[in-house]
Chain A
Amino acid sequence: MNLTVDQASPGGIPGPEDHWPADSLPPGLASARMFRSIRAARSWLHAQGAAVTSPDAGALVKMKPGDGGVPLFMIPGAAGSILQLGPLADKMPEPMPVYAIRPRGLNGSEQPCESIRDMAENGIIAMRAIRPVGPCLLLGYSAGGLVALEMAQLLTAAGHAVPLVILIDTYPGRRVWPLRCHVEILGRQVVRALWALRRYSLAGARREVLRRLRSLFDYLAAAGVRALPSLPVLIEGTSAASRRIYLATYKAGEAYRPARYDGKVIFIQPDAVPNLEPRSPEQVWRRFLGNLDVRRVTGTTHSGFVESGAAATAATIRECLRQAGVTYQQY
């Protein structure tokens, strides 16, 4: 049996007869990512381990205790792993309580949310259980940033203060990116490809051109060119439940159309901008976010934000909090 995410065993727990799903990240790579996250989260786990690994932990997990000041709520990336947020939580300002919001479906007995709005509402319910009133700070990593942004929309619409939203390398689906953003990315890729072709023999160059053309078609399909077939999703996650959440979040993110938000938002960008992302996140976000500030963190990559680059990322976040006038004494 070739277990796909949608066919996973009831309860989300793979049984011994299940095999690694073919549409998922190769197991070697998935294992390596998991152990890198575990390694990066070591000091946080030693400090907070008993609380965060409690099987009784619900949708809201206390990542770091604080003194009751304005709390920071973190939303993990598409696979829903709070482990990857541990190194960041560990380095947040001492008095600030930090929580992570786990996506619905991780325990396997519930279906994952199917839209960013549902995920945001789910997050607010979890959050309000411990903070029924009062302001809060929101941080989302990768796809989790879309959920954080939607939560901010809902909270402010309901009259609650959200002094700051932090997006860590978060983008909406490429279909809503402006044309000039695609032109910039594709232009950069063409220059790279031409430069790279110098190294190849004639036969090798032909293969390389074909490979890059496939990559171009994939990009255009993701950007919404209807003449091209949609891309299969390479699913991430370390369990059947997390892979199911990853797929649901991916689809929800692709379908999400952000509404205009004028609250303060900080976008944290990696130093090494991924090939298929814009150099300037403002190009994508400008029409959705009225008060956006972009910070690039030296020496980081997309995954490095929450691994080797966690200290630098946390330092940037602390500085953003200070500049935004968000101090724990404020509340």
Chain B
Amino acid sequence: MLVKETIVAEFKRVAGEQGKTLAALGDGMMLLETGLDSLCFAVIVARLEDGFGFDPFQTAGDETFPVTFGDFVRFYEAAAHAHSAD
């Protein structure tokens, strides 16, 4: 499954589990406006680590942390690329 599809599926799954109303996930949508809270994002990051086998937040510098949904997807795509090259 593509990285973006996996991420979208996880956002929808967590929003459903936590009873949150998820905003439309356009690339420019700010993560903090998606309707999810910090605990939801913590769950998403943990589950994506389980699924992908890596957690890009462990190695990235704070200045590269994603702000929008598009940033988030690119953040994981870049990490997936680096992970597959290892």
Minimum CB–CB distance for B8 against chain A, Å: 15
In the assembled complex, A241 has its CB within 8 A of some CB on chain B: yes
Q: A31-B65, A35-B65, A38-B57 are in contact. Are A55 and B17 (CB under 8 A)?
A: yes
In the assembled complex, A306 has its CB within 8 A of some CB on chain B: no
Cβ–Cβ contact A15 & B32, under 8 A = no
Chain B residue, CB-CB nearest to A52: B39
Cβ–Cβ contact A34 & B41, under 8 A = yes
Chain B positions 12-35 with a Cβ under 8 Å from a chain A Cβ:
17-21, 23-24, 29-33, 35
Question: How many positions in chain B have a CB within 8 Å of any CB in the partner chain?
Answer: 30
Q: Which listed residue, A35, A37, A46, touches B46 by the CB 8 Å rule?
A: A46
Chain B residue, CB-CB nearest to A39: B57
Q: Which listed residue, B20, B23, B33, B37, touches A242 by the CB 8 Å rule?
A: B37
Minimum CB–CB distance for B12 against chain A, Å: 15
In the assembled complex, B67 has its CB within 8 A of some CB on chain A: yes
With a cutoff of 8 Å between Cβ atoms, the chain A residues found around residue B30 in the complex are 20, 27, 31
Q: A34-B41, A35-B57, A55-B19 are in contact. Are A18 and B33 (CB under 8 A)?
A: yes
Minimum CB–CB distance for A303 against chain B, Å: 11
With a cutoff of 8 Å between Cβ atoms, the chain A residues found around residue B39 in the complex are 52-53, 81-83
Minimum CB–CB distance for B39 against chain A, Å: 6
In the assembled complex, B77 has its CB within 8 A of some CB on chain A: no
In the assembled complex, A16 has its CB within 8 A of some CB on chain B: yes
Cβ–Cβ contact A239 & B36, under 8 A = yes
Range class of the A interface residue count: 35 or more
With a cutoff of 8 Å between Cβ atoms, the chain A residues found around residue B37 in the complex are 106, 238-239, 241-242
In the assembled complex, A264 has its CB within 8 A of some CB on chain B: no
Cβ–Cβ contact B67 & A28, under 8 A = yes
Minimum CB–CB distance for B22 against chain A, Å: 9
Cβ–Cβ contact B32 & A27, under 8 A = yes
Which 8 A-B pairs rank lowest in CB-CB distance, beginning with the nearest? A16-B23, A239-B37, A238-B38, A35-B65, A38-B42, A39-B57, A31-B67, A32-B65
Additional A-B contacts beyond A39-B58, A42-B55 (17; CB < 8 A) = A13-B35, A16-B29, A27-B30, A32-B62, A32-B65, A34-B38, A35-B65, A35-B66, A36-B65, A37-B42, A42-B46, A46-B46, A81-B39, A238-B41, A239-B38, A242-B37, A242-B38
